[in-house]
Amino acid sequence: MTVSVAVTLAIAILGAGLGILNTWQSADRDRVKLRLSPMAGYPITHGKVGREPMIGIEVINRSAFPVTIEQVGFQRKGSKDLGQFWNPLTTSGERLPIRMEPRSALTFYVEPETAKTADFLSYTRPFVITGERTAFYGSRRMFSRFQRSFKKG
């Protein structure tokens, strides 16, 4: 093998590797990426902090493009049923559907009584459904820890 053939082969292998890397990066960039976390917060009304914590789901849009959120809620234990928040309160004051800009976060809350119901204990993880009708789920382990900490007070 001559030097020119070896250099040509090396450049061809490098080009093929960079092409594969570029294709993978492009496919990853065009994918919807949402992160969901359960939250608890205390409402502030007229400068006073409320006594009852509100249950919520923080949604972070990690995508490079806007995503529309149409439904938010929790999945029920032992089934694929989704318990939707019908009129969630948001940190921005908007109502569903909401367009989330790239790299933005939004928290959806429900009334404090939700944590006191038996339904709350029958949920396994948070979910979000986007405008493309794609469901995204939060971590079961994180949500079970959240439920246990909520039971303790």
Asked if 32 contacts 69 with a C-beta cutoff of 8 angstroms, the reply is no
For the chain, the structural domain boundaries read 1-30, 32-152
Closest CA to 137 of 73, 62, 55: 73
Which is it for the CA torsion 48, 49, 55, 61, positive or negative? Answer: positive
- pLDDT of the residue at 66: 92
Q: Is the pLDDT of residue 149 over 70?
A: no
Write the class of the CATH domain 32-152.
Answer: mainly beta
pLDDT digits 0-9 by tens, 70-120: 888 888 777 777 777 767 777 677 888 889 999 998 888 877 666 666 666
pTM of the predicted model over 0.75: no
* Confidence band of 151 (pLDDT split at 50, 70, 90): low
